[in-house]
Amino acid sequence: MAYSLGLYAFSEGELSAFDMGAVRAALSPVAAVPERVTNEATEYWIRAADGSEAEVSVLGGHIGVTRPQAGDVWKIIIELADRLRAAVLLPDGTLLCREEMRGHLPEGLEHDAVLVPEITPATFERAAGPFTHPLT
């Protein structure tokens, strides 16, 4: 089963652009190939030390993570989400984000989101639920 998820940046209830400097700082050290810009999106193919990989595409306030393999690449993705203060939209529709983002979410989402002090592998696993265990 293919697994993908989205990371979103919100400010004052609106989608806002990610800080590309912060994205590059997090992903450049783990890039398997140099970043590539196509159709306004910046694309990365990242690889963790254990060899697990994922495709990452950044366009404005959205980061798409496609086909992440089980393994340490998930730690990179989770650290990226936490570092960027991103809201993580899981495949089942669950929105996971830091508590501090409550006031920045679009109207209505703050009541449906899973809010945590920080996004960690443990909080991610709890929010992802039993449908998958991407970290193992």
Paired with 47 in beta bridges are: 53
Q: Per the structure block, which two tokens stand in for 30?
A: 């783990």
CB of 7 closer than 8 Å to CB of 80: yes
Task: Summarize pLDDT for 65-124 with one digit per residue, the tens.
Answer: 998 988 999 999 999 999 999 999 988 888 999 999 999 999 988 888 999 999 999 999
Q: Would you state the pLDDT for residue 134?
A: 56
Mean per-residue pLDDT for 5-29?
94
d(CA 2, CA 65) in angstroms, rounded, equals 11
Task: Summarize pLDDT for 20-71 with one digit per residue, the tens.
Answer: 999 999 999 999 888 898 888 999 999 999 999 999 999 999 999 998 988 9
pTM of the full structure: 0.88
Task: Summarize pLDDT for 115-134 with one digit per residue, the tens.
Answer: 999 999 999 988 887 545 45
Ranges of each domain in the chain: 4-128
Q: Would you state the pLDDT for residue 131?
A: 46
Q: Would you state the pLDDT for residue 132?
A: 52
